[in-house]
Chains A and B, each alone.
Chain A
Amino acid sequence: MALFILRRLLQSLFVLLAVSVVVFFAVYAVGDPIELLVSPEVGQAERAALVARLGLDLPIWQQYGHFLWNALHGDLGNSFVHSMPAIELILQRMPATFELVVVAIFLTCILGIPLGMVAGLYRDAPLGRGIMATSVLGFSLPNFWQGMVFILLFAVWLGWLPASGRGPTVEVLGIPFSIFTAEGWRHVAMPAVNLAVANIALILRLTASGVVEARNQEYVKFARAKGIKPGRIVRRHILRNILIPVVTVIGMEFGSLIAYSTITETVFSWPGMGKLLIDSVYQLDRPVVVAYVMLVTLLFVVINLIVDILYAVLDPRVQLLEPAH
């Protein structure tokens, strides 16, 4: 196990390096951020001083070299626009994205899995068919349109929920969270549902197909023949065996949502990392974009690792490393 984890981490170092090169040079290729930062009213001398301070007068490979050297010491550079360390900027916004995604995943689990089981168990009944048909809407509707319709319906017409922003926060372990306040729940409701809808549809269909497959397995038929109550069969036998692919997908979705809930954050003005990313791309704030992509890559690597380990734990047939002979 330890060897497996070690090997994984070493592989991921190469991935991080490759990612940093690609993003660094890609953002460089778009344009010169100085033009976006500096007003024409600034004198030549000040402009030159700023260029030197940001290191933009050096040749690009030298800038990358500096970046790499600093990165090895844990410093991923200072934002051009905000003049604070890029990592700090991203970590400041992470709790907001994190809590949005956690609520969305929570909704996905408590709605997606039970609905999927119902759809799978009553597949030929109108109920099952109805659920499957509605789930198509779930992943077909464009995310931003869906969000705007929610805002129109719940904020403008009904006035039940606020149209944008995050609620008041309470510090827990030094990190501000808004889900511990009642007002905070009103703010997080719509964006979380917006993110969750597509995932619920996905998990629902996955669970349903898993249930359908499991129902026809030998051990289920045997349990039925033994006279075990249907409820116990579903809970004790079917559910456990279909959880493996579901857990894998939820893990991937978790990572994907943390990294790329940009659209929902923009529509709902949720102050998370996604919005920071898109703003930084627009402003050619290269340190923030590179730091963000590297952080996200690391996140995906860790999530992948955890899912693989969970996989091995859940299914004793899985071997993480090749047998040593």
Chain B
Amino acid sequence: MSVRISNVARLVCSLGALVAVGAQAQTLKIGLASEPTAIDPHYHQATPNDALTTHIFEPLVAMSPDMKLIPALATSWQAIDDVTWEFKLNPKATFSNGKPFTSEDVLFTMCRLQNNETSISGGFQNVSKRIAKIETPDAHTVRLITQTPYPVFPNELARVPMIWNGVAEHGKLTFSPKEGCGVTGAWPTVNDFNSGRATIGTGPYLMKSYVKGNGIDLTRNDAYWGEKPEWQDVRMVAVPSAGPRLTGLLSGDFDLIENPAARDLKRIKDSGLGYVTKPSVRVMFFQLDTARNPSPMVKSPKGDNPLQDVRVRQAISMAIDRKTIVARIMDGVATPAYQFLPDGMFGALAPAPELKYDPKAAKALLTEAGYPDGFELTLSSTNDRYINDAQITQAVAQYLSRIGIKTNVDTMTRSVYFPRRAKRDFSASLGGWGSETGEASNFIQYWTTSTKPELGMGGSNYGGYSNPELDSLFIKAIGTVDDTQRSALLNQVLTIALKDMPNIPLHFESGVWAFRKGLTYEGRADQRTMATSTRVAK
């Protein structure tokens, strides 16, 4: 009798435990490094926001972890002619409220991008402004016609989540953003999304609650049209300091954290937890002042600006031992950069010739350029924005000192650094840039082409570098729709940029994610932390 009861009791207990474990395994707790500023997908173009909103909303085309374009809401797409892109939409796709995803929603989204009053960084307006006309021949076909040939268009569309056209009252929708597109009611604002009223997407998760500072709760979209999402609930909490974020993982508060400090990786491994690193598209580089004579932070014995001589710039690049910086300062969690986009991506040199560490040749080049005794230079950087930014700058300063350039280091907090750099206070400034389009024209467009605001070029070219040959090749490249030709042109552009070296690439940061035992995480080159990349280990 008693044996039977205890057996029954044991069975009940183990069943209970199973249920408890099962229920527990269904909630994923993520510790983020920075808090998303809103759940409105078009509010602010920043990685934390993009990562969060992609759980709830989806773009027409998505990016794989290696930043290749893959079908999302569109099953296929092609360029019918130089300016017309036709997308075939997935007929199975539906919003979380049951409504089907149609070409009307694409039209509405593009209209909203240009009628988004509350957005704080122009959020995606550029993408919409490139469109001249939108045709919706049927519910599952949409044609986007751009003003000028723009082959990178699908890559840019990969970052634009689609919203439901029912969040604003409207009559017949047409693509006339300046006239309101046929919308009669009020356009959705950021608060409409943060409160949940307009947060209706096609994605695998639904917004359960969003309390700024406290945490974001998502729950599984059981009516999701695609692959069943793994987790029942997802809870994201932002813990900006790396130390407390790690202790959260160690103590079991979090199942997954992003960006643990590189020095803690050994501790993570020793504690039986797992981690994964993935080279990202974010390249760290120094931008040199090539335009001004004299330059504010350069002092030369000849009274000029040595940075204007290409031999001096090449010498500086040769003096830096990138491999040692990656090994010692970045603790191996980085990849030396010999160009501005990781090898293997569209338009990147395959492979880029190695920028060898050769201090003797560097000194010889300096002497040839007329600076046998070197000159004085100040390197400027942030100390709280990029991983080990101040240490990288100090290391580079030491390498330059060894070839005779008397180098000072000036690091400052980012809220002082970025405005000053934009005012062109610096001669050699550290920068970081992630090519979110996953192809080579992105970096060149903002950092290397001559500053021409009307064409959207050179927006971050604070060094003032201007090479008409590079500019014209670049303009030709971004207008060439044929992939092979465009890739070859981009290779030419990159070769010129590396020969002239107005920007000296250092390394590519790697994204790091740490997680508890029993999970696996698929790292992404765009550094987004996604519940959809987290799986229970088999």
In the assembled complex, the Cα of A32 lies from the Cα of B424 at a distance in Å of 13
Per-position contact with B for A59-85: 1 when CB-CB < 8 Å, else 0?
A: 000000000000000000000111110
**Could you tell me if B238 and A156 are in contact, using CB atoms closer than 8 angstroms?**
no
**Could you tell me if B248 and A163 are in contact, using CB atoms closer than 8 angstroms?**
yes
**Could you tell me if B125 and A162 are in contact, using CB atoms closer than 8 angstroms?**
no
In the assembled complex, the Cα of A93 lies from the Cα of B240 at a distance in Å of 17
B99 at the interface (CB under 8 A from A): no
Of B413, B415, B420, B459, most buried by chain A (CB within 10 Å of CB) is B415
**Could you tell me if A44 and B251 are in contact, using CB atoms closer than 8 angstroms?**
no
**Could you tell me if A162 and B253 are in contact, using CB atoms closer than 8 angstroms?**
yes
- Stretch from B136-144, B209-217, B365-373, B477-485 at the A interface: B209-217
Task: From the candidates B126, B415, B418, name the one contacting A43 in the complex (CB within 8 A).
Answer: B126
A30 at the interface (CB under 8 A from B): yes
- Lowest 5 A-B CB distances belong to which pairs? A46-B122, A271-B213, A31-B419, A42-B122, A44-B453
In the assembled complex, the Cα of A122 lies from the Cα of B446 at a distance in Å of 73
**Could you tell me if B241 and A266 are in contact, using CB atoms closer than 8 angstroms?**
yes
CB-defined contacts of B213 to chain A, threshold 8 Å: 92-93, 96, 271-272, 275-276
B120 at the interface (CB under 8 A from A): yes
Give the residue name and chain of the A residue nearest to B249 (CB). A163
What are 16 A-B residue pairs whose CB atoms fall within 8 Å in the complex?
A34-B419, A35-B418, A35-B422, A41-B446, A49-B122, A148-B243, A163-B247, A163-B251, A163-B253, A164-B237, A164-B247, A269-B237, A269-B241, A269-B244, A272-B213, A276-B213
Given contacts A32-B422, A268-B244, A269-B244, is CB(A83)–CB(B215) below 8 Å? no
Given A39-B45, A269-B244, 15 extra CB contacts under 8 A: A30-B416, A37-B120, A39-B121, A41-B45, A43-B126, A44-B456, A80-B120, A81-B120, A83-B191, A266-B240, A267-B241, A269-B238, A281-B415, A282-B414, A283-B415
In the assembled complex, the Cα of A30 lies from the Cα of B44 at a distance in Å of 23
Q: Which residues of chain B from 202 to 249 have a CB within 8 Å of any chain A CB?
A: 211-215, 237-241, 243-245, 247-248
Given contacts A92-B212, A282-B414, A283-B415, is CB(A84)–CB(B253) below 8 Å? no
CB-defined contacts of A215 to chain B, threshold 8 Å: none
Q: Which residues of B are in contact with A by a Cβ distance under 8 Å?
A: 37-38, 43-46, 118, 120-122, 125-126, 129, 190-191, 211-215, 237-241, 243-245, 247-248, 250-253, 384, 413-416, 418-423, 446, 453-454, 456, 459-460
Of A40, A148, A276, most buried by chain B (CB within 10 Å of CB) is A40
CB-defined contacts of B460 to chain A, threshold 8 Å: 40
CB-defined contacts of A266 to chain B, threshold 8 Å: 240-241
Per-position contact with B for A92-124: 1 when CB-CB < 8 Å, else 0?
A: 110010000000000000000000000000000
In the assembled complex, the Cα of A162 lies from the Cα of B125 at a distance in Å of 42
A18 at the interface (CB under 8 A from B): no
In the assembled complex, the Cα of A130 lies from the Cα of B388 at a distance in Å of 45
Q: Which residues of chain A from 269 to 315 have a CB within 8 Å of any chain B CB?
A: 269, 271-272, 275-276, 281-284
In the assembled complex, the Cα of A31 lies from the Cα of B129 at a distance in Å of 30
CB-defined contacts of A133 to chain B, threshold 8 Å: none
**Could you tell me if B247 and A156 are in contact, using CB atoms closer than 8 angstroms?**
yes
CB-defined contacts of A132 to chain B, threshold 8 Å: none
Give the residue name and chain of the A residue nearest to B456 (CB). A43
CB-defined contacts of B453 to chain A, threshold 8 Å: 43-44
CB-defined contacts of A41 to chain B, threshold 8 Å: 45, 126, 446, 459
**Could you tell me if B251 and A40 are in contact, using CB atoms closer than 8 angstroms?**
no
Give the Cβ gap from B284 to chain A, nearest Cβ, in Å: 16
Give the residue name and chain of the A residue nearest to B452 (CB). A44
Give the Cβ gap from A183 to chain B, nearest Cβ, in Å: 12
> Count of chain A residues with Cβ under 8 Å from any Cβ of B?
51
CB-defined contacts of A42 to chain B, threshold 8 Å: 45, 121-122, 125-126
**Could you tell me if B190 and A151 are in contact, using CB atoms closer than 8 angstroms?**
no
A36 at the interface (CB under 8 A from B): yes
Task: From the candidates B129, B237, B413, name the one contacting A165 in the complex (CB within 8 A).
Answer: B237
CB-defined contacts of B252 to chain A, threshold 8 Å: 159
CB-defined contacts of B421 to chain A, threshold 8 Å: 35
A50 at the interface (CB under 8 A from B): yes
**Could you tell me if A46 and B253 are in contact, using CB atoms closer than 8 angstroms?**
no
In the assembled complex, the Cα of A276 lies from the Cα of B238 at a distance in Å of 13
Given contacts A271-B214, A282-B413, is CB(A151)–CB(B238) below 8 Å? no
Given contacts A37-B121, A82-B37, A276-B213, is CB(A31)–CB(B247) below 8 Å? no
A166 at the interface (CB under 8 A from B): yes
Give the Cβ gap from A293 to chain B, nearest Cβ, in Å: 17
CB-defined contacts of B241 to chain A, threshold 8 Å: 266-267, 269
A23 at the interface (CB under 8 A from B): no
Give the residue name and chain of the B residue nearest to A281 (CB). B415
In the assembled complex, the Cα of A50 lies from the Cα of B45 at a distance in Å of 14
Task: From the candidates A84, A155, A276, A283, name the one contacting B251 in the complex (CB within 8 A).
Answer: A155
Per-position contact with B for A217-243: 1 when CB-CB < 8 Å, else 0?
A: 000000000000000000000000000
CB-defined contacts of A267 to chain B, threshold 8 Å: 241, 244
Give the Cβ gap from A285 to chain B, nearest Cβ, in Å: 10
Give the Cβ gap from A169 to chain B, nearest Cβ, in Å: 8
CB-defined contacts of A40 to chain B, threshold 8 Å: 446, 459-460
In the assembled complex, the Cα of A224 lies from the Cα of B420 at a distance in Å of 72
In the assembled complex, the Cα of A271 lies from the Cα of B216 at a distance in Å of 13
**Could you tell me if B253 and A164 are in contact, using CB atoms closer than 8 angstroms?**
yes
Of A42, A162, A281, most buried by chain B (CB within 10 Å of CB) is A42
A152 at the interface (CB under 8 A from B): yes
Task: From the candidates A84, A93, A269, name the one contacting B191 in the complex (CB within 8 A).
Answer: A84
**Could you tell me if B122 and A152 are in contact, using CB atoms closer than 8 angstroms?**
no
Given contacts A36-B414, A41-B126, is CB(A164)–CB(B37) below 8 Å? no
Give the residue name and chain of the B residue nearest to A169 (CB). B214
Given contacts A32-B422, A39-B121, is CB(A163)–CB(B244) below 8 Å? yes
Give the residue name and chain of the A residue nearest to B213 (CB). A271
Give the residue name and chain of the B residue nearest to A147 (CB). B244
Task: From the candidates A35, A159, A271, name the one contacting B419 in the complex (CB within 8 A).
Answer: A35
CB-defined contacts of B253 to chain A, threshold 8 Å: 155, 162-165
**Could you tell me if B247 and A32 are in contact, using CB atoms closer than 8 angstroms?**
no
Give the Cβ gap from B172 to chain A, nearest Cβ, in Å: 28
CB-defined contacts of A30 to chain B, threshold 8 Å: 415-416
Give the residue name and chain of the B residue nearest to A271 (CB). B213
Task: From the candidates B129, B245, B415, B454, name the one contacting A282 in the complex (CB within 8 A).
Answer: B415
Given contacts A151-B244, A165-B237, is CB(A50)–CB(B122) below 8 Å? yes
CB-defined contacts of A32 to chain B, threshold 8 Å: 419, 422-423
In the assembled complex, the Cα of A209 lies from the Cα of B243 at a distance in Å of 40
**Could you tell me if B415 and A36 are in contact, using CB atoms closer than 8 angstroms?**
yes
CB-defined contacts of B237 to chain A, threshold 8 Å: 164-165, 269
Of B214, B384, B453, most buried by chain A (CB within 10 Å of CB) is B214
